[in-house]
């Protein structure tokens, strides 16, 4: 849409109309404004799927693999296809703008949202982010790159002041944002909760000086949810939209901002610019009259997610046991806490309700293997929501529960038949009532025992709860917020109250849970709770012994260990990188009983694997999305290549890793440029598995590297001296062309990620020993050689100095290979 048209729409609005648009109408949507031809525009989380406006099982969402998994593919085309899939989902669910991608860096694996970010490396993060945004936006759905900036951990995230030197900020933390603004023209940026150098990000001068002035960004800046906390400073900064709304409930703008403009404390031209940016976003997503939304292309979601899962799995170690032969394979012992319940996503705002999930056990069974299962040890720290086959509707028919809603005067005003036992109302109670109109909830269901034993029955949530079983009261208590808890922690890990109930096999009990909505600290916008159930299980000692016996008696043991969304989540950082519970002991004892043990690690971020050298194979599978189990069977059986390479260094111990703990409210990035492999190189530490590492099912030789070759398009030689020219390439196309020849030396078709790292011997500037400068995906048949062209961008040779980008002229080394620790080919390039 023409800029003049947008401006004339702004000019038609009164100050009140304009200011109203600058705060959300509710938790997830912007106000419509007929005066400007603007319809309601809907925003939704998040990186692992498109949740939509409802956050429960009634409105399911395709659950894609975690962003760490996407980055492990190192495959921009695949990630762009995932962006298209998400656009398709967004349109299906009435969503205009996705609150993704998250491009904060893996500064340390302790970071709670590590699983939600791509990589420790700014170039890999930028490439994945650009592809993700292009996939979405070329299909007409807006992306929101977040969280700007230095929101790389969760501890005290609302207030922490991150101190990071300017060079580190530019070369590492801002770099993905810069690439996504300049190369993918992202439509929206989310300002983070934290401060950087003393300014909270919703008031930060960086929004204007960097985003607007330096990068020429014409999109919208929205606050993270409740991150805006001032009238004038936030309005004068380049913050355009406060979320969530309405202003009357969440502040801080609304009437206070209108008043500030009237009093001359905020210039109305600033307001006009913010409204213009909102209308521009609306025009881009088809939210203004006169523009029709682009229709995203159809997509085969299960197929795409299954292939992406396989392409992300990193085969970190394999003594030849994998792939397993399909024919003649005897009994497969499937063991481990993450084998039966698929852990497909991390916790926090990135959670969605998938339509189904394929667990590792389901996937291997469906593949037709002779599978026997033993859980081995408990991996979850909290009891989860009651589910089928134990949870039944009150009339005993299908799985699920019934919710009845009552007004303050005690009258029943609505009811819902639900399929599960997780309840989240974030923006009122839908068509049933506003937060003020609903005072009490009653949840009814039947719990039916599958085996005799002690069941733990209870609730998690905030406020007053009364639980009854067959009419007898089990408790009547108020569950209170942990002082200082973050909103995401409150949502993901609220207080839990459980009561033991003994049941005989097949016995049913009628359960009723009553909740006083207005006693919840969340009552202003709704409430959330879940009915929990822990079913009987043996002690860890008994379960481990049974698993070991099964492994000894089977041909192969597949042990699936990992974390859960309660361990890796928004709202808090991890305090330990160890696998929860006694999983390490489980692996050790199974491996001692069976030399043919494959360990599948199902976590969004690295966990410590102290037994890694003692098992036949280690496959790192991330949080694999809803098709996890299918993808796993494909890879274990060799029907798909384990295509992933590590997007982050996998530590051998927690030693030497940057801390997430602020000191007196300040978190100083003392390690500067040296995060991830840059830090390991500097300190001479050796990780368990290096950045970029991963094996396939074939082998490769690295045969030659040529600088200034004809490979990449356009052939860019502008930086080479002597004789270099300066063609008018856009910044991302300026650089040095290198060609790397690799050959598939194995016996099956395979995939290799050819990686090129730069280094600068004898530099006058402090630098990492090496840094990722380019990469390419190669697929080849046995015996086939491929000469792949890779453009090393100009930025890979630059460093930030004295307020600008500098190039230290002279000779850089480019080293190519299969990981940051295996670089057999080197070449020198002299740049000027």
Catalytic residues: 224
Toward ligand BGC, which CB reaches closer, 139 or 194? Answer: 194
Toward ligand BGC, which CB reaches closer, 348 or 629? Answer: 348
Q: Rounded to an integer, what distance in angstroms lies between the CA atom of residue 513 and that of residue 517?
A: 12
Q: What is the DSSP string of 468-516?
A: EETTEEEEEEEE-PPTT--HHHHHHS--EEEEEEEE-TT-EEEEEEEEE
Q: Rounded to an integer, what distance in angstroms lies between the CA atom of residue 307 and that of residue 303?
A: 6
Least spacing, CB of residue 24 vs ligand BGC, in Å:
11
The single residue among 45, 161, 178, 641 that binds ligand BGC, judged by CB under 6 A, is 45
Q: Write the CA distances from 238 to 215, 235, 274, 334, 567, integer angstroms.
A: 13, 7, 8, 54, 35
Residues forming beta bridges with residue 80, ordered by sequence position? none
Toward ligand BGC, which CB reaches closer, 46 or 379? Answer: 46
CB atoms within 10 A of CB 542: 10
Q: Which pair of structure tokens corresponds to residue 364?
A: 């291997």
String of contacts with ligand BGC for each residue 552-571, x by CB under 6 A = ------------------x-
Toward ligand BGC, which CB reaches closer, 225 or 800? Answer: 225
Least spacing, CB of residue 195 vs ligand BGC, in Å:
15
Q: Is 349 in the site for ligand BGC (CB under 6 A)?
A: yes
Least spacing, CB of residue 524 vs ligand BGC, in Å:
16
Toward ligand BGC, which CB reaches closer, 251 or 651? Answer: 251
Least spacing, CB of residue 346 vs ligand BGC, in Å:
12
Least spacing, CB of residue 570 vs ligand BGC, in Å:
6
Q: Is 154 in the site for ligand BGC (CB under 6 A)?
A: no
Q: Rounded to an integer, what distance in angstroms lies between the CA atom of residue 731 and that of residue 805?
A: 13
Q: Is 717 in the site for ligand BGC (CB under 6 A)?
A: no
Q: For residues 568-587, which are near ligand BGC according to CB under 6 A? A: 570
Strands (E), 101-203: 142-148, 161-163, 188-191, 195-196, 199-200
Q: Rounded to an integer, what distance in angstroms lies between the CA atom of residue 603 and that of residue 69?
A: 10
The single residue among 488, 561, 600, 737 that binds ligand BGC, judged by CB under 6 A, is 488
CB 394 within 8 A of CB 373: no
Q: Rounded to an integer, what distance in angstroms lies between the CA atom of residue 494 and that of residue 482?
A: 8
CB atoms within 10 A of CB 239: 26
Toward ligand BGC, which CB reaches closer, 46 or 458? Answer: 46
Task: Report the sign of the C-alpha dihedral through residues 112, 115, 116, 118, in that order.
Answer: positive
Q: How many residues bind ligand BGC (CB under 6 A)?
A: 9
Q: State the residue number with the nearest CB to ligand BGC.
A: 349
Q: Is 678 in the site for ligand BGC (CB under 6 A)?
A: no
Least spacing, CB of residue 244 vs ligand BGC, in Å:
8
Q: Is 543 in the site for ligand BGC (CB under 6 A)?
A: no
- What element of type H or E holds 551? helix 540-552
The single residue among 10, 41, 99, 501 that binds ligand BGC, judged by CB under 6 A, is 99
Least spacing, CB of residue 192 vs ligand BGC, in Å:
8
Q: Rounded to an integer, what distance in angstroms lies between the CA atom of residue 464 and that of residue 460?
A: 11
- Label each residue of 772-828 as H, E or C: EEEEEEEEECCCCEEEEEEEEEHHHHEEEECCEEEECCEEEEEEEECECCECCEEEE
Q: Is 489 in the site for ligand BGC (CB under 6 A)?
A: no
Least spacing, CB of residue 14 vs ligand BGC, in Å:
30
Least spacing, CB of residue 264 vs ligand BGC, in Å:
34
Q: Is 86 in the site for ligand BGC (CB under 6 A)?
A: no
- Label each residue of 614-658 as H, E or C: HCCEEEECCCCCCCHHHHHHHHHCCCCCCCCCCCCCECCCCCCCC
663 DSSP assignment = B
Toward ligand BGC, which CB reaches closer, 569 or 759? Answer: 569
> Cis peptide before 147, with omega less than 30 degrees from 0?
yes
CB atoms within 10 A of CB 708: 18
Q: Is 222 in the site for ligand BGC (CB under 6 A)?
A: no
String of contacts with ligand BGC for each residue 364-403, x by CB under 6 A = ----------------------------------------
Toward ligand BGC, which CB reaches closer, 146 or 678? Answer: 146
Q: Rounded to an integer, what distance in angstroms lies between the CA atom of residue 351 and that of residue 353?
A: 7
Helix then strand count (H, E) for the chain reads 20, 35
Q: Which pair of structure tokens corresponds to residue 140?
A: 């007409």
Q: Is 177 in the site for ligand BGC (CB under 6 A)?
A: no
The single residue among 24, 46, 83, 604 that binds ligand BGC, judged by CB under 6 A, is 46
**195: CB partners within 8 A, 6+ apart:** 159, 160, 161, 162, 201, 204
Least spacing, CB of residue 420 vs ligand BGC, in Å:
20
Q: Is 202 in the site for ligand BGC (CB under 6 A)?
A: no
Q: Is 186 in the site for ligand BGC (CB under 6 A)?
A: no
Least spacing, CB of residue 403 vs ligand BGC, in Å:
23
Q: Which pair of structure tokens corresponds to residue 334?
A: 């499937």
String of contacts with ligand BGC for each residue 798-817, x by CB under 6 A = --------------------
**535: CB partners within 8 A, 6+ apart:** 390, 450, 451, 453, 455
Toward ligand BGC, which CB reaches closer, 146 or 734? Answer: 146
Least spacing, CB of residue 26 vs ligand BGC, in Å:
12
Q: Is 225 in the site for ligand BGC (CB under 6 A)?
A: yes
Toward ligand BGC, which CB reaches closer, 55 or 217? Answer: 55
Q: Rounded to an integer, what distance in angstroms lies between the CA atom of residue 85 and that of residue 62?
A: 9
Q: Is 132 in the site for ligand BGC (CB under 6 A)?
A: no
Q: Is 54 in the site for ligand BGC (CB under 6 A)?
A: no
Toward ligand BGC, which CB reaches closer, 99 or 511? Answer: 99
Toward ligand BGC, which CB reaches closer, 45 or 161? Answer: 45
Q: Rounded to an integer, what distance in angstroms lies between the CA atom of residue 773 and that of residue 44?
A: 34
Q: Is 628 in the site for ligand BGC (CB under 6 A)?
A: no
Q: Rounded to an integer, what distance in angstroms lies between the CA atom of residue 811 and that of residue 276?
A: 47
Q: Is 224 in the site for ligand BGC (CB under 6 A)?
A: yes
The single residue among 146, 170, 630, 770 that binds ligand BGC, judged by CB under 6 A, is 146
String of contacts with ligand BGC for each residue 748-777, x by CB under 6 A = ------------------------------
Q: Is 429 in the site for ligand BGC (CB under 6 A)?
A: no
Residues that bind ligand BGC (CB under 6 A): 45-46, 99, 146, 224-225, 349, 488, 570
């Amino acid at each position: 849409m023409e800029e003049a048209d947008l401006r004339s729409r702004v000019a038609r609005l009164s100050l009140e109309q304009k200011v109203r648009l600058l705060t959300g109408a509710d938790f997830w949507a912007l106000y419509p404004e007929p005066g400007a031809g603007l319809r309601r525009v809907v925003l939704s989380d998040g990186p692992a799927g498109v949740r939509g406006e409802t956050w429960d099982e009634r409105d399911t969402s395709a659950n894609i693999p975690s962003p760490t998994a996407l980055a492990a593919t190192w495959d921009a085309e695949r990630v762009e296809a995932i962006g298209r899939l998400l656009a398709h989902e967004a349109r299906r669910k009435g969503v205009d703008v996705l609150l993704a991608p998250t491009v904060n860096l893996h500064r340390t694996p302790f970071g709670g949202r590590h699983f939600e970010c791509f990589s420790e490396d700014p170039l890999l993060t930028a490439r994945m982010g650009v592809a993700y945004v292009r996939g979405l936006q070329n299909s007409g759905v807006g992306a929101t790159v977040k969280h700007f900036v230095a929101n790389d951990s969760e501890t005290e995230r609302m207030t922490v002041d991150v101190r990071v030197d300017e060079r580190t900020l530019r070369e590492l933390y801002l770099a993905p944002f810069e690439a996504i603004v300049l190369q993918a023209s992202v439509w929206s940026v989310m300002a983070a909760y934290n401060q950087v150098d003393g300014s909270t990000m919703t008031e930060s001068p960086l929004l204007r000086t960097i985003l607007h002035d330096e990068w020429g960004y014409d999109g919208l800046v929205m606050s993270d949810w409740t991150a805006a906390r001032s009238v004038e400073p936030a309005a004068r900064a380049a913050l355009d939209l406060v979320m969530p709304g309405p202003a009357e409930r969440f502040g801080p703008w609304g009437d206070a901002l209108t008043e500030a403009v009237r009093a001359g404390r905020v210039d109305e031209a600033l307001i006009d610019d913010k409204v213009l940016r909102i209308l521009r976003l609306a025009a881009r997503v088809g939210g203004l009259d006169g523009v029709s939304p682009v229709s995203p292309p159809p997509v085969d979601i299960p197929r795409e997610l299954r292939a992406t899962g396989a392409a992300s799995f990193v085969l970190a170690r394999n003594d030849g046991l994998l792939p397993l032969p399909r024919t003649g394979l005897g009994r497969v012992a499937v063991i481990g806490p993450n084998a039966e319940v698929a852990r497909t996503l991390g916790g926090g705002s990135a959670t969605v309700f998938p339509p189904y999930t394929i667990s590792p056990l389901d996937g291997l069974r469906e593949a037709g293997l002779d599978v026997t299962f033993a859980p081995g040890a408990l991996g979850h720290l909290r009891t989860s929501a009651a589910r089928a086959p134990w949870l039944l509707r009150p009339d005993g028919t299908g799985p699920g529960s019934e919710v009845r809603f009552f007004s303050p005067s005690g009258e029943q005003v609505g009811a819902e038949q639900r399929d599960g036992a997780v309840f989240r109302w974030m923006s009122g109670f839908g068509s049933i009532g506003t937060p003020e109109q609903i005072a009490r909830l009653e949840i009814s269901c039947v719990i039916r025992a599958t085996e005799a034993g002690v069941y733990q029955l209870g609730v998690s949530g905030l406020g007053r709860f009364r639980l009854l079983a067959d009419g007898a009261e089990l408790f009547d208590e108020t569950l209170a917020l942990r002082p200082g808890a973050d909103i995401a922690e409150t949502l993901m890990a609220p207080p839990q109250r459980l009561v033991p109930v003994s049941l005989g096999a097949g016995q049913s009990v009628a359960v009723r849970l009553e909740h006083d909505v207005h006693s919840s600290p969340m009552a202003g916008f709704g409430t959330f709770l879940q009915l929990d159930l822990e079913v009987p299980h043996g002690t860890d000692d008994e379960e481990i012994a049974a698993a070991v016996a099964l492994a000894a008696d089977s041909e192969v043991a597949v042990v699936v260990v990992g974390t859960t969304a309660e361990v890796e989540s928004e709202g808090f950082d991890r305090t330990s990188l160890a696998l929860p519970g006694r999983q390490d002991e489980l692996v050790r004892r199974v491996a001692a009983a069976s030399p043919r043990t494959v360990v599948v690690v199902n976590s969004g971020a690295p966990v410590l694997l102290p037994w890694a050298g003692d098992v036949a194979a280690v496959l790192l599978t991330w949080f694999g999305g809803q098709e996890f189990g299918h993808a796993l069977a494909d890879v274990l059986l060799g029907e798909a290549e384990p295509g992933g390479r590590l997007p982050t260094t996998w530590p051998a111990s927690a030693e030497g890793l940057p801390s997430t703990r602020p000191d007196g409210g300040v978190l100083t990035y003392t390690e500067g440029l040296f995060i991830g492999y840059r830090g390991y190189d500097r300190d001479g530490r050796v990780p368990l598995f290096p950045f970029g590492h991963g094996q396939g099912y074939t082998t490769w030789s690295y045969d030659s590297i040529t600088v200034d070759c004809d490979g990449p398009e356009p052939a860019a030689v502008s930086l080479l001296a002597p004789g270099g020219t300066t063609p008018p390439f856009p910044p991302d196309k300026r650089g040095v062309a290198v060609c790397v020849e690799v050959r598939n030396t194995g016996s099956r078709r395979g995939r290799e990620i050819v990686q090129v790292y730069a280094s600068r011997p004898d530099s006058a500037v402090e630098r990492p020993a090496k840094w990722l400068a380019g990469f390419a995906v190669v697929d080849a048949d046995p015996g086939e050689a491929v000469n792949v062209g890779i453009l090393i961008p100009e930025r890979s040779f630059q460093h930030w100095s004295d307020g600008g980008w500098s190039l230290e002229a002279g000779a850089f080394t480019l080293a190519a290979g299969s990981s940051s620790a295996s670089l057999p080919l080197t070449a020198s390039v002299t740049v000027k």
